[in-house]
Homo-oligomer: A and B are copies of this chain.
Amino acid sequence: MIQRKQVTSQDVALRAGVSRTTVSLVLNNKHELSQISPKTAQRVIRAAQELGYVPNAAAQALVNKKASVIGLVLSRSHHQISSDVYLTQVVDALMLEAHQNQMRVLLDVLENHEDRNSYQRLIQGRLVDGILFSGPRTDDRALDLLAKMDFPTVLMGGLPGSPFYSVDIDNIQAAKLATQHLISLGHQRIGCITNATPVFTAAADRLRGYRLALQENHLPIDDRLVRFGDFDPPSGYRAMQGLLSVQPNPTAVFVASDVVAYGAMSALHDAGKNIPEDVAIVSMDDVPLSAFISPRLTSVHLPNSKLAQSAGSLLIDLINGNRPARKQIILDTHLVIRESCGSQLRMNSQ
């Protein structure tokens, strides 16, 4: 590969007629401390511009012991990433936050949860200065390693009992809120489809919120009415088919994720059931698309961008050596009522 030779600070120094040190001082704005005459400073800046000098990132990283890169680690398998709808929001907000701090974002998947090696090159190799961890799993052994070396790490989504900083919503409360809404509409027999298997803490918490809501309203808990989704629409489709095989059918279903809910709704449609007349649906996540499908999805809104931004900001704090006292940040959620729950239907008929 023919690559034009890199312009180094030495070249700039030569052209400006000064030493390389002077170039470094001027370009990093340390010349006021070091008493460098404004005249030479100007000459250096001119020379740098004329040559199109850009400092070598690797060299800077080496000497500064700072890569100026934060890692976003996804703890899901590949098929799950493909149908992940928040990812774009997270990535977007994170990049914005990173750029404001002269940092960049490196993306990585954690494919094998047993494999500590996959972390090592990333972290001990100092390729990134900190890690943002999306969707932690309770069975992730590699996280222990991270904790031991107190490497700057922030979790998006909590991991109970872990020593990490984290940014999250109150999943239990949010799921309870959603289920409660269905109860307040008069439903007695309410099913649940989770967003994922319970090894993901968010999934376990949402299921718990659903059960709590039933308990507090003295409704019976029927485990046949609980099905497990797996991030994508097909899993929701299958889960809903499962629910429909239980007699009597539930009159409402709390689905713990919009994307899974799409599949569930499709299954209802294919079974000839109307939403919300035959089966009402309340979901969680409030993905942008959910306001545009029909029927419009009633869903608990998650502040994804804000979540990612807070997480990014917190991580950068950690990287800079600050240790905020508050280890957990919990952001607020709220229910967005649309058509799939049948609220409007009720209001009209009353």
Interface residues of A, Cβ cutoff 8 Å to B: 1-4, 6-7, 52, 54-59, 61-62, 67, 69, 72, 78, 81-85, 87-89, 91-92, 95-96, 99, 104-109, 111, 120-122, 124-127, 149-152, 232-233, 236-237, 259, 262-263, 265-266, 269, 288-289, 291-294, 296, 305, 318-319, 321
Q: Is the CB of B78 within 8 A of A82?
A: no
Some 13 contacts from A to B, beta carbons below 8 A apart, are: A1-B152, A1-B319, A1-B321, A3-B149, A52-B120, A54-B120, A55-B125, A57-B126, A58-B59, A82-B92, A85-B85, A106-B107, A266-B291
This protein's copies in its complex: 2
Q: Is the CB of A266 within 8 A of B294?
A: yes
Select one of B61, B87, B263, B293 contacting A87, CB under 8 A: B87
Select one of B124, B126, B259 contacting A52, CB under 8 A: B124
Complex CA–CA separation, A23 to B107 (angstroms): 30
With A62-B62, A78-B92, A289-B262 already in contact, the answer to whether A105 and B104 are too (CB < 8 A) is no
Complex CA–CA separation, A149 to B104 (angstroms): 23
CB-nearest residue of chain B relative to A305? B82
Q: Is the CB of B288 within 8 A of A266?
A: no
Q: Is the CB of A54 within 8 A of B121?
A: yes
For the complex of A and B, 5 pairs with smallest distance between CB atoms? A58-B61, A54-B124, A58-B62, A57-B127, A233-B292
Q: Is the CB of B107 within 8 A of A95?
A: yes
CB-nearest residue of chain B relative to A261? B292
Q: Chain B residues with Cβ under 8 A from A104's Cβ?
A: 106-108, 122, 127
Select one of B3, B88, B232 contacting A84, CB under 8 A: B88
Q: Is the CB of B56 within 8 A of A126?
A: yes
Complex CA–CA separation, A109 to B6 (angstroms): 24
Q: Is the CB of B92 within 8 A of A81?
A: yes
CB-nearest residue of chain B relative to A232? B288
Q: Chain B residues with Cβ under 8 A from A149's Cβ?
A: 3-4
Select one of B2, B55, B57, B232 contacting A150, CB under 8 A: B2
CB-nearest residue of chain B relative to A116? B52
Q: Is the CB of B108 within 8 A of A106?
A: no
Complex CA–CA separation, A288 to B107 (angstroms): 22
Q: Chain B residues with Cβ under 8 A from A82's Cβ?
A: 88-89, 92, 288, 305
With A1-B152, A1-B321, A82-B88 already in contact, the answer to whether A6 and B124 are too (CB < 8 A) is yes
